[in-house]
Amino acid sequence: MRVGPETPAVVSGGASGLGAASARALARRGAPVTVLDLDAGRGARLAGEIRGLFCAADVTDPEAVADALDRAAAAHGVARIAVACAGIAPAGRTVDRDGRPHDPGLFLQVLAVNLVGTFNLATQAAARMAAGPGLNDDGERGVVVMTASVAAFEGQIGQIAYAASKGAVAAMTLPMARDLATAGVRAVAIAPGLFLTPMLEGLPAEAQASLGGQVPFPARLGKPDEFGALVVQVAENAMLNGSVIRLDGAIRMGPR
């Protein structure tokens, strides 16, 4: 599927970080992009920069996601590329140093945003793709790109909620691809390692360098543009389907 004006895209969590990089990468190829986010200021600025559309949407609310996709379709046509990047990563141990169990409300919040939010965008977007015409000789109608994490496989201390949410995203990728195969819609997840996202940008330069030095090669933090480039490659390579692609410089995370 060629990324271009005939392949509208939606990106959740698109106002910053990996989502913003994905939105920019798709827009550079000519795709009309709708940015979904709760940060109206950043989202609207980015949409203006890439000549796209901003829709405020809480990904944990399926009706809000459906409304945003309808608005995106009215402006650009039905999205053929859906990129789920909305996520949060609060820390919390199973039992903290004071002997208190992990906050169940926080655990559910992480699952709601990272897992259910991804599910909401993927299912709502895929249903709209499946109802449309094929785009090429393969009968391809679209692709869903989800964001997992290396924490899905090597969750660190304090990442029980985050790792569980990202592990679930990884686990639903293959059955989703199988479910959607007859509709000509693909599903792929990207599992990034240590990337220079807003969460890490707040760290001192020496801390960033220390983290980057843990990556075998290249020995640095990943650049969001490298994530965005892979999103475009996934969209354009029809044989990428049902896979979780690690984008991590060969790092395997230790306990800390």
Catalytic residues: 162
Q: What's the CA gap between 90 and 96, in Å, rounded?
A: 14
Q: In the numeric block, which tokens belong to residue 65?
A: 């996601």
Task: Say which residues have a Cβ less than 8 Å from residue 232's Cβ, sequence separation at least 6.
Answer: 3, 25, 26, 29
Torsional sign, CA 105, 83, 174, 254? negative
3-state helix vs strand vs coil in the chain, percent to 5: 45, 15, 40
Cross-strand partners of 192: 247
62 upstream amide cis, omega within 30 of 0: no
Cβ atoms of 77 and 33 within 8 Å: the answer is no
